[in-house]
Amino acid sequence: MKKLKLFTFALAALAMAACSSDEVTAPADSNTGFGADGTGYLKLSINLPTQSAGAGTRAANDQTDDGDATEYAVNNATLLLFKGEDQNAATFQAAYDMTLNWNQGLDDDQITSQGTKVQKINSITTAGGEKIYALVVLNRNSVFTVDNTANTIKFGPDVFSGSFKDFTEKTVASATALTGNGYFMTNAVMTDKPGSTAISGQTTTILADVSDKIYQTELLAQENPAADIFVERAVAKVQLTQSITSSNLIVGSNTLTYTISGWALANQNTSSYIVRNWNQSAEGITPSGDDWYALRSDGDGKSESPSLTANPYRFAGYSLAQEESGNPATAAYRTYFGIDPNYKDDASFTDAPATASGMTFDDNTKYCLENTFDVAHQNVKNTTCAIIKAKFTLPAEWEGNDFYTVNGIRTTIYKKSEAEKAILKQAGDLYNNDILATATSDADFVDAEKINVAPKAVTYTVDADTKNLTLTKVTFTATEDGGDATTKDYDLNGVQLEAVKNAITVTQYTNAEAYYTVLIKHFGDELTPWNRANKTTVAYPNEQADKNWLGRYGVLRNNWYEIEVKGVSAIGSATVPNVNADTTPDDEVENYISVKINLLSWAKRKQSVTLQ
């Protein structure tokens, strides 16, 4: 496939060049600024990103991959102009539809292709320290519409007016809104200092300062350097792959073969900002600890992570986004985090059990809204995850298509008849220990004249939600030692039946299928190592939690998370796990699936797992 050189993880933000002039008004001998007719010409170079690649551990930053050609298709482009003394306060001025000409990116940068355009724009009056800023939106889909006569935009019926901060607080409620007609892209968040050393005095930008890129004629604009704008896709990409070398699983005395037969995403975010929110000072966002740039993991296993040694300050990349001599915008590095609308709130996702129906492996790539959270909310219910279904093939002599476990112990599986015997044995043990007798006043059943008392039969239903067997009747047989030695059957009464229910839980694995949960890691084990061995009651202890583990889990826009299933080492859950309600910390969960997660360019992150 022809190489598409896109920007991986956060795709490069926007030109880093800054202008110190107080207003965009050309002196008499200058050709910059707006002409006498009130128009100007702005030359743009728009850089489509590779994807950051990672995994359930994301792997090191700046690992990128081009991805699919469809992920780079541009069906429409919109230029939005703002003016103000700083980015957040800059107010919206005008919007222009653009047609772009595309060239392939260089092999040594993080750009897949570049689009250029000289755009004619109407005069914007500036004063004091105001600058003119540009935001480019590719594939706007139905997020907003453009009126090319009035140069305005609408969100639904409402004409937008306000600051860039107001614009960034606009949200969408589904990934479909951002992928329906090409992948929605906006300026990426870029910084001018790498994460390989301690960062201070960095400049981080989203909008591109184009104050000194406006010319009085189209020819002048063509002849002069363009304003570089780096963009990123607004969704994250998750891919499931397999590299299973052996598909045999030994469970007790049984050897089962298996296939990975389906998967789905769960805990998918239901709201996303249309532009990545990097501003930690935004209203309501007050992460504890130092500024992100200063966070350097001193977590467990640090010495075993070469990526952490090379790039200790994980929130910025260490490779230039664009290798182009003499271009000031090349002092631009990707950034690798952001704030979503529910960053500091408990999520209220409801998608996990619903994924059981029709879960297939027809499509190994899925897209979702970014989902990030602080360490205090780094638990299962807040973490986007993959739910994977494995189909087991039972031995030839097995009865039916189902198997069973007892009391949650998955190291032994039972045939249907064996599961029923286990229930009857439990009932017999309760009788022999006088528990059934003391649980009831049923004198007829506990009559001392009865001999040879033994459990005989059990009937039950299977709970559709839990797959647990619900006992409806347990029958004992006994001989009355009263002269004629009559043998009779006796059904346990309600209290006795409840005692048996409380003593044993039998779970049916319908169609020999089991489910596994893989929590998706962002920075993961490479950049935020975590060691269970020295944790006691708290998964992320002490005031250094942000420093060590902020961003360990989550999915970020323009990151490609590849989950590679290496094998299955144990029986999973009989039902789709209800991850929507699980408050267990992410690093306290038993993991029974062997996976490797790769994050691609997109920024690509790879994660390998063995299912358990």
Q: How far is CA 27 from CA 17, 161, 307, in A?
A: 21, 31, 51
% residues pLDDT > 70 (the chain): 81
Does residue 27 surpass a pLDDT of 60?
no
- Residue linked to tokens 């020295």: 534
Residues ≥6 apart with Cβ < 8 Å to 254: 394, 395, 413
Could you tell me the pLDDT band of residue 102, with boundaries at 50, 70 and 90?
low
Does residue 104 surpass a pLDDT of 80?
no
283 class by beta-carbon count within 10 Å (0-12 exposed, 13-18 middle, 19+ buried): exposed
201 class by beta-carbon count within 10 Å (0-12 exposed, 13-18 middle, 19+ buried): exposed
Does residue 580 surpass a pLDDT of 50?
yes
Does residue 25 surpass a pLDDT of 80?
no
Q: What's phi and psi for 388, nearest 5 deg?
A: -115, 135
Q: Which residues pair with 134 in a beta bridge?
A: 81, 208
* C-alpha closest to that of 168 among 12, 276, 11: 276
Contact 356, 580 (CB under 8 A): no
Residues ≥6 apart with Cβ < 8 Å to 330: 320, 321, 322, 323, 324
Say which residue, 23 or 474, is predicted with more confidence. Answer: 474
* 3-state class percentages of the chain: helix first, strand second, coil last, to nearest 5: 15, 35, 50
Q: What does the block give as tokens for 473?
A: 């009747």
* C-alpha closest to that of 368 among 153, 178, 131, 513: 178
User: What is the secondary structure of 263-277 as a DSSP string?
Assistant: EEEES--S-EESS-B
Q: What is the C-alpha separation between 387 and 266, in angstroms, rounded?
A: 7
Say which residue, 457 or 355, is predicted with more confidence. Answer: 457
**Beta strands at 111-122 and 101-104: parallel, antiparallel or unpaired:** antiparallel
Q: Which residues pair with 393 in a beta bridge?
A: 257
Q: What is the pLDDT of residues 184-231, one digit of tens each?
A: 999 999 888 888 887 777 788 899 999 999 999 999 998 988 888 889
State the sign of the Cα–Cα–Cα–Cα dihedral 10, 14, 17, 18: negative
- Residue linked to tokens 């409402």: 158
Q: What is the pLDDT of residues 465-496, one digit of tens each?
A: 999 999 999 999 988 776 667 788 888 988 89
At 295 the pLDDT is 86
Q: What's phi and psi for 523, nearest 5 deg?
A: -75, -35
Q: What is the pLDDT of residues 140-149, one digit of tens each?
A: 999 999 999 9
Among 134-138, 220-224, 284-288, 527-531, name the most confident range: 134-138
What does the mean pLDDT of the chain come to? 83
* C-alpha closest to that of 310 among 194, 418, 231, 140: 194
User: What is the secondary structure of 413-433 as a DSSP string?
Assistant: EE-HHHHHHHHHHHHHHHHHT
Q: What is the DSSP letter of 586?
A: G
